[in-house]
Structure 1
Amino acid sequence: MHLNTPRITALTDAALTPEQRQALAPVTAPNRPVLNIFRTFAHAPEALTRFLSWGNYILRGNSLAPREREIVILRTGYLCRSGYEWTQHVEIVRRGGMGDAEIAAIKTGAEAPGWSAADAALIRACDDLHERQFVSEPVWAALKAHFSERQCMDVVFTVGQYTQVSMMLNTFGVQLDEGQKLDPDLDARG
């Protein structure tokens, strides 16, 4: 997290226009709060609608297995220093059975002990894309050794999506949702 307070405030239910309510409809469920990310992005309802469509592909249509997809999302969020993104997806991976040691290893990177060759290739691809906006030949070859062409494409799509999300979250100052705790390694507030 970079900011102590939001630059763009998450909208309350009372402040929503009909267009904003419509844009939020896909992420609204009974007895479940609408996350601050969506309440913030709702300031631009047309953008939110399109964002949700692409995000739905990344989270539900992606050819990567859920664990692989989440490794890519977490590594990207960590590299982008997005405390909000990291916090949301750590909760997701914990529900999926990933333990603290593996979550910590995502921060360390591909050289952390215990990664399979496939997992290390995913992490290295994230690092390449973050540093160069390009996957180097050796890393691409490592990806191709474990993943189909479509899965390799989905790695790039996922890193691109979550880099964009992280930039928006960081810049807009989206604050953690109620009850969440910021990982101290991602506290960049001055």
Structure 2
Amino acid sequence: MRLSSPRIDPVDLDRIDAEQADALAPVMQRGQVLNIFRTLARGPEALKAFLGWGSYTLSRKNSLDARLREIVILRTGFLCGSGYEFTQHTRIGLNAGLTAEEIEAIKQGPDAPGWSGLDRAALTACDELVREHFITDATWAALSDLGDRGRMDLVFTVGQYTQVSMMLNTFGVQLDEGQVLDPALDRRTG
């Protein structure tokens, strides 16, 4: 987390206009409206587009199984210094079958002990994509069990969560009530 307070305040749900209400409708149906969505509602048309692509990334349409998808999201969020993203997806990752120990190991990356070959390759791909915006031939080959569609979905997922991390960090989206920031991601400056 980079900022101690938002640069763009989340909307007050009791004071949203019709366009914001329309954009937030899919999120509001699920219950609690998280700060990320309340912030993005400041740009309702962008929020609608964001929800469409994000829904693909988090759905069963994404060919990555939920556990591997969450490894990719958590590593991307960690590399981007997004405390908000890492916090949200820690819970989601645990629900997808990751252990607390694996989530700690995600912060260490592909060289942490205990990863399967595919997990290690996915973590390496995240590192390469975030740092170089490219997957090397060796890593691409190590991801061959995913097939072309799975490798594409891995790139799509890293790209989506790099963008999400940039928005969260830059807009100063704060953790939702009751959440605790991982100290490794406390980079607040203001």
Residue 164 of structure 1 corresponds to which residue in structure 2? 163
Residue 21 of structure 1 corresponds to which residue in structure 2? 21
Paired with 2:174 and 2:41, the residues of 1 have a C-alpha distance of: 15
Give the counterpart letter for 2:55 in structure 1: N
Paired with 1:176 and 1:169, the residues of 2 have a C-alpha distance of: 10
Paired with 1:147 and 1:13, the residues of 2 have a C-alpha distance of: 41
Work out whether 1:53 is the aligned partner of 2:52: yes
- Structure 1 residue 96, shift from structure 2 partner: 2.8
Residue 137 of structure 2 corresponds to which residue in structure 1? 137
- Structure 1 residue 100, shift from structure 2 partner: 1.3
What's the CA shift string for 1:127-176, capped at 9, x where partnerless? 000110000111111111x2111000000000000000000000000000
Tell me the secondary structure at the aligned position of residue 175 of structure 1.
Answer: coil
Residue 184 of structure 2 corresponds to which residue in structure 1? 185
Work out whether 1:8 is the aligned partner of 2:8: yes
Paired with 2:182 and 2:21, the residues of 1 have a C-alpha distance of: 31
Tell me the secondary structure at the aligned position of residue 6 of structure 2.
Answer: coil
Paired with 2:96 and 2:109, the residues of 1 have a C-alpha distance of: 20
How do 1:1-190 residues align onto structure 2 when only pairs under 5 Å count? Answer: 1-29=1-29, 32-60=31-59, 61-144=61-144, 146-190=145-189
RMSD (Å) for aligned C-alpha atoms: 0.9
What is the number of residues matched between the two proteins?
188
Q: TM-score, normalised by structure 1?
A: 0.97
Paired with 2:86 and 2:46, the residues of 1 have a C-alpha distance of: 22
Tell me the secondary structure at the aligned position of residue 179 of structure 1.
Answer: coil
* Contiguous gaps of at least 5 residues in structure 1: none
Give the counterpart letter for 1:42 in structure 2: A
Paired with 2:39 and 2:19, the residues of 1 have a C-alpha distance of: 14
Paired with 1:25 and 1:107, the residues of 2 have a C-alpha distance of: 34
Aligned identity (percent) is 59
- Structure 1 residue 29, shift from structure 2 partner: 2.7
* Contiguous gaps of at least 5 residues in structure 2: none
Tell me the secondary structure at the aligned position of residue 180 of structure 2.
Answer: coil
Q: TM-score, normalised by structure 2?
A: 0.97
Runs of 4+ in structure 1 off by over 4 angstroms are none
